[in-house]
Amino acid sequence: MFRLFLLLISNLVFSQSSLIDYPHPYHSTYTESGIVVSQNYLSSDIGIEVLNKGGNAVDAAIAVGFSLTATLPRAGNIGGGGFMQVFIEEDKTLLMIDFRSMAPKLATREFYQEAKEKDDDVTRKGYKAIAVPGTVAGLFKAHELYGTIPVKDLIQPTIDLLEQGVPITQDLYLAINKGRYIQNDPESNKIFKKNLSLGGKLKIEDLIKTLKIIQADGRDGFYKGKIADLINKHMIANDGLIRKEDLVAYEVNLYPPIKTNYRGKQIYAMGAPSGGGIVVLTALNVLECFQLSQLAPNSARTYHLIAEAMKFAHHNRSKYVGDPSFSDIPYDMLLSKKLACKKAKEINLTEVSSPKKTARTGNKINNSYKESKDTTHYSIVDKEGNAVSVTYTLGYSFGSGVTIPGTGILTNNQMNNFAHNYEITDSYYRSSSPANKLEPLKRPMSTMTPVMVFDKGKLELITGSPGGSQIPGVILQVLINNIEFNLDVGAASMVPRIHQDSQSLSLEYEKFISEDTLRILESFGHKLELSDTMGSTQSIEIIDGIRYGYADLRRPNAKVSVQQ
């Protein structure tokens, strides 16, 4: 009788433990209703606030886009630009909104080459580094197409937050202290450095005034009115290149997404001027030629194949991708399955391939094109199934470092993303890419790419990430982990990552890859380089109508917010 009692207790304990046991510690947040995932907890809550008021995913995306200007000033922006992917459930519309920053009319190759001889940082800091911002125009275009709540109501939560003061978290405190270029600008110093204290409040009175002008006058309030006048005035006073006519002339571009099929799934990404989408889809096409599912997500062979596919994909974006308004993009070739499998056959399973060599690739040229990791992404799905995926940026952390006096607007340094050495025709470095050469009114190539995954017309996954040149690889690894290895969105996001560029001899890796895996990679010929954390994916997975959100743990203060 006692043995029977022990058996019953044992069975009960086993049954209970199996019910509360989990395969991994990276738990997603789920709902059957609306969900917002962003890099800041306050912004995610603002998105849900809009959904609770009856707004759709586009309305929420507009509100989050404005709010990150206050909550994540080093990357969130109205002084920068980016890309938005929109999915409308009712008619299955898929659209990419390009609000990438644009070169001013006065920007020429000769001007910057002469300026860089005096200061190689001229495209990274100060007024000359600033491209015409597109975010406000992009958010208004999204509202024009699909918005349901007045824009003034979508901006108001950010005004309310700024009037209360944005909490200075440890992350924000450290970011301000480490801000590379804000120390050079008197206005940025006054706003961010003065009275800076951990646990204090960040208040930007001029930004409140700017947002109220946009509330009252719409897009024109930014591009034609008082704000444009202030930008024009301070550009002239500080030898910057943007003029009011550049702001007036700025247009948002609408494109269909580019896509590939992978294991029966349809993967949609941003086309040019994004090179990131090209990299993700090209690498997927190469990897589809291998049986990755027979491997493990964190095995040396998996990392090796991803690295080799990424070399090929990054080379393609460096050589062929630029602003489609200025050059034809050979999508058929870039996304060719036949070409991808031909490349796959050239990959040695146990030996690293060499990067492209050229006689004219000195260190100065190699290092002159630096892509910042300080970008941000957010993903949203509303209760109707409409979805929005947005990646936008100021460029470097706090962009150019310049805040336009009287506006509170932090500005980008996207002039850095042009190929300023393009006349070197035998170089494979992207600093000399003819497709991305600087021309007036042109948009620089970007690695940003919001991504959506569908299966037979049903949305299954939304993702995107900051990370500069690491962005495509970060997204690629989330997709591979989810599709090939059947990992849920939490686990797929947290497998340690690698980064391999076409122009680097080193394979960068996150620190928690096992020593055995690293030894095997070294035996394949990889030169390993320890990296900081890579990216910060903000993702939503949809399974049987349930939305599972996961905010990458690699950067603090991100949050999944859901409708109750």
Residue 145 lies inside a defined structural domain of this protein: yes
Q: 229-279, pLDDT tens digit by residue?
A: 999 999 999 999 999 999 999 999 999 999 999 999 999 999 999 999 999
Q: 518-559, pLDDT tens digit by residue?
A: 999 999 999 999 999 999 999 999 999 999 999 999 999 999
Q: 418-462, pLDDT tens digit by residue?
A: 987 766 554 445 555 788 999 999 999 999 999 999 999 999 999
Residue 54 lies inside a defined structural domain of this protein: yes
% of the chain beyond a pLDDT of 70: 91
Residues 6+ apart with CB under 8 A from 139: 61, 62, 65, 66, 99, 151
Residue 449 lies inside a defined structural domain of this protein: yes
| Helix residue ranges per DSSP H, 451-539 | 471-483, 489-494, 515-523
| Helix residue ranges per DSSP H, 321-419 | 331-334, 337-346, 363-367
Show the domain range for 111: 32-419+427-554
Dist CA 32 CA 383 (whole Å) = 7
Active site residues: 375
Q: 370-415, pLDDT tens digit by residue?
A: 566 789 999 999 999 999 999 999 999 999 999 999 999 999 999 9
Per-residue model confidence (pLDDT) at position 422: 64
Per-residue model confidence (pLDDT) at position 19: 61
Residue 26 lies inside a defined structural domain of this protein: no
DSSP 442: P
Per-residue model confidence (pLDDT) at position 189: 94
Residue 474 lies inside a defined structural domain of this protein: yes
Residue 492 lies inside a defined structural domain of this protein: yes
Domain count, the chain: 1
Per-residue model confidence (pLDDT) at position 300: 98
- Bin 441: left if φ > 0, else alpha if -120 < ψ < 50, else beta: left
Dist CA 545 CA 463 (whole Å) = 17
Q: Write down the pTM of the prediction.
A: 0.93
Residue 87 lies inside a defined structural domain of this protein: yes
Q: 192-241, pLDDT tens digit by residue?
A: 998 799 999 999 999 999 999 999 999 999 999 999 999 999 999 999 99
Residue 24 lies inside a defined structural domain of this protein: no
3-class DSSP state for residue 430?
helix
